[in-house]
Amino acid sequence: MELKDFKQRNISPGYIFLEGEKAPENGWQAFQKVVKRTLKGELFVGLWIVFREMIRFDIHTIQYPAEKMEMSPRYRAIHRLLRLFESGSERCIGCGLCEKICISNCIRMDTHIDEKSRKMVSEYSINFGRCIFCGYCAEVCPELAIVHGVEYENASEQRAHFGLKEDMLTPLDTFRANEQKEFPGFGALSDNADEAVKQTPLAY
Amino acid sequence: MFETAVLVETIVKAVIVVAVVAGMAGFATFIERKVLAFMQRRLGPMNVGPYGLLQLAADGIKLFTKEDIVPQNAVKPIFMIAPVIAATTAFVAMAAVPYFPEFTLFGYVIHPIISDINVALLYVMGVASVGIYGPLLAGMSSANKWSLLGAARAVVQMLSFEVVTGLSVLAPIMMIGSLSLIDINDYQSDGLTSWLIWKQPLAFILFAMAGFMETNRAPFDTIEFEAEVVAGYATEYSGMRWGLFFIGEYANMITISVLVSILFMGGYNSLWFIPGAVMMLVKVSFWVFLFLWVRAAWPHIRPDQLMWVCWKVLMPLAVINILITGFVLI
């Protein structure tokens, strides 16, 4: 490799170099350039374009507080903890996978064995100051207990306000009003999950 | 007795012109926001009143109740008087401008012009050039480097374009032989073909460009262009003092629109079946719309390019135009 190869490292093989307009060399060429640009009518093209957009009236405004943006169901916003449909109790079984997989270490859970010798989740919190909304927790959850919601208006006085279990868990009255949607967000099964899953062959 | 009647009539006209033009200037801010919004595929003001129409009132309340701040090191009396100069000159210039053809109201012939002086064009341009003192004094008294730069640009640019304005209207004046705007209007009374825009196309273009410069509008608004000099001469102003600059700018816009309509586009003469007053409204509306349209479409020009185009292109063209007109007249 020679020195000039090193000096041209920034030019890759597919690179097309556009020289642009040649700079005028003498006064006559400069004059020609001015006259050409003056008579070209580029400015009227600009006028026409904005006028066309005006008469098309193709407005892209969302009138925000009255009208909200439709988020994709796969959007990954503040988490939701869901409840079981039959009993209304929490779906979370305290397995700790989300805590384990969380790459920013923002999920903390506390579990204990209750009087029926079942594992119960006593504390569950997500530090949203650290959360990067990667979606791993929702992906890994075996019970579909934690999913990502679609609320994009996150305003509060303190970021810790979002992170507690009571805030993320479906409230009981919402649940009783039958308003917990089964698979609303990221981490949920797709609509055609049943068709996609094959039965386990038991015959071997 | 007769003199009293004239005096009363003049005062009434002056009050009407100031009130109507100030109202139009305020409304123009709303229209400007709407037109710019539509051209950029937005909606503009929508929340105050039906379709945002009361936004004008809301802005007025805001401007009047905002704190009036005078910076510590500013030259206080000059700082405070500068916006008044800008707004008053804009309105004073309208004294010699005819708006509509004369009409009869309750058997009394009304001339919709405050004072028909025979040097109307000279008067309007003279007063408009006094208007430069607004930005100049504002910028120099503000104790702010951006304001000072704005003031310097104001002098350099507006003064230069005064030359172009003066020279460009000289050719039409040579053809008409009068400075009175009414005479200029009557000269073009033979329908579309008698409009001066066909006889003096170059003067028309030069005057239009100079009009954009003098109203300090989009492609040439370098004296308050925020990407370079924050807000130029108006950086330190707040509340109604800033509002006065704003009203002055829009009043100037209306004056220039009326002037261009009268000078080059047939004025308030009726065309085919359309009455003169309607023609005038259409032309002035078109010009105000053009001011907004250009603002939406065109990029700013650099100050050095502006001076280049003024002294090396526009002024020679204006002089050549005068020469040609002179030879043709001889």
Residue A126's SS3 state is strand
Q: Which residue has the higher pLDDT, B107 or B293?
A: B293
Is the minimum CB–CB distance between B202 and chain A shorter than 8 Å?
A: no
> What is the average per-residue pLDDT within B296-303?
85
CA distances for B282 relative to A44, B63, B193, B205, B251, angstroms? 21, 31, 18, 19, 17
B188 vs B102: which has the higher pLDDT? B188
| CB-CB under 8 Å, A61 with B42 | yes
Taking the Cβ of residue B163 and every Cβ of chain A, the question of whether any pair is shorter than 8 Å is answered with no
Mind listing the pLDDT tens digit for each residue in B256-278? 898 888 888 887 877 777 777 88
Contacts of A123 (CB under 8 A, 6+ apart): A108, A109, A110, A165
Q: Do B296 and A50 touch (CB under 8 A)?
A: yes
3-state DSSP assignment of residue A125: strand
Give the residue with greater pLDDT, B94 vs A12.
B94
Written as tens digits, the pLDDT of chain A (204 aa) is 677 777 766 666 677 777 777 888 888 998 888 888 888 888 888 899 999 988 888 888 888 888 888 888 788 888 888 888 888 888 888 888 999 999 999 888 889 998 888 888 888 888 888 888 888 998 898 888 888 888 777 777 776 666 778 778 888 888 888 878 776 567 777 777 778 777 777 766
Tokens of residue A52, six digits: 């066309």
- In this predicted structure, what is the pLDDT of residue A183? 63
Condensed to tens digits (0 to 9), the pLDDT of residues B221-242 reads: 888 777 777 878 888 888 888 8
Residue A9's pLDDT is 64
pLDDT at residue A184, as a whole number:
58
Residues 19-78 on B with a CB inside 8 Å of A are 35, 38-43, 46
Per-residue pLDDT, B135: 87
Position B323 confidence tier, pLDDT thresholds 50, 70, 90 = very high
- Give the separation between CA B147 and CA B73, rounded to whole angstroms: 13
In a 3-state reduction of DSSP, which class is residue B2?
Answer: helix
Mutate to test the interface with B, among A38, A48, A50, A56 (most CBs of B within 10 A): A50
Mean pLDDT of B179-188: 83
The letter for the amino acid at A163 is G
> What's B90-150 look like in SS3?
HHHHHHHCCCCCCEEECCEEECCCCCCCCCHHHHHHHHHHHCCHHHHHHHHHCCCHHHHHH
**Could you report the predicted ipTM of this complex, rounded to two decimals?**
0.78
- Chain B closest CA to A85's CA: distance in Å? 43
* Contact predicate B277/B120, CB 8 Å: no
User: Strands A119-126 and A107-113: what pairing?
Assistant: antiparallel
Question: What residue type is B327 in one-letter code?
Answer: F
Chain-centroid distance of CA B321 in Å reads: 24
Q: How far is CA B143 from CA A34, B25, B70, B74, B312, in A?
A: 40, 29, 10, 5, 34
**pTM of the complete model beyond 0.90:** no
pLDDT attached to residue A103: 92
Which pLDDT value is given to residue B67? 87
Task: Please list every residue in chain A whose beta carbon sits closer than 8 Å to the beta carbon of residue B42.
Answer: 59-61
Tokens representing residue B25 in the block = 């200037």
CB distance A125 to A164 below 8 Å? yes
Per residue in B32-65, pLDDT tens?
999 999 998 888 888 888 888 888 889 889 988 9
Half-sphere exposure of A21 (CA within 13 A, CB side): 9
**A35 touching B, CB under 8 A?**
no
Mark yes or no for CB contact B39/A51 under 8 Å: yes
**The residue type at B51:** Y
Query: How wide is the angle at C-alpha B78 spanned by C-alphas B73 and B80, nearest 5°?
Result: 90
